[in-house]
Homo-oligomer: A and B are copies of this chain.
Amino acid sequence: MAKNKFICDCNVLHQESIDFIETNMLTHQEITDVSNLFKIIGDPTRLKILWVIKEKEVCVCDICNLMDMSKSAISHQLAVLRASNLVTFYKEGKSVFYKLADGHIEKLIDICREHIKE
């Protein structure tokens, strides 16, 4: 049924389509989770970080040098990646080494590159 008489003033409703789609719709939580993950990868700085640590475990210093960015900027984005469990890390002396949490992100990036090519 039309839920939003107050927001949308349309009369053209394809009820069967709407019902069918509503049956297969993602939950609000799923939409939130999935879009949040994409949003995180949807920033060039974070994407580049992920790409860098996908190749090798590297310390924050190395990331800064590879990306020509300040330690602070990198560290802030690493905090975002940590909060989303996309990366793990271990300390060694004064350095902190980061690596990808799992292979899903790699897969995501590859599929996306395929798409771009077309």
By a beta-carbon cutoff of 8 Å, the part of chain A in contact with chain B is: 2-4, 7-14, 17-18, 20-22, 24-26, 30-44, 46-48, 51-52, 55-56, 58-62, 64-66, 68-71, 94-95, 102, 104-105, 107-109, 111-116, 118
In the complex, the answer to whether B12 meets A95 with C-beta atoms within 8 Å is: yes
A68's partner among B4, B11, B118 (CB-CB below 8 A) is B4
Contact A64 to B8, CB < 8 A, known contacts A25-B51, A30-B113, A111-B108: yes
> Does the CB pair A112–B108 fall under 8 Å?
yes
- Give the CA-CA distance A35 to B39 in the complex, in Å: 9
CB distance from A11 to the nearest CB of B (A): 8
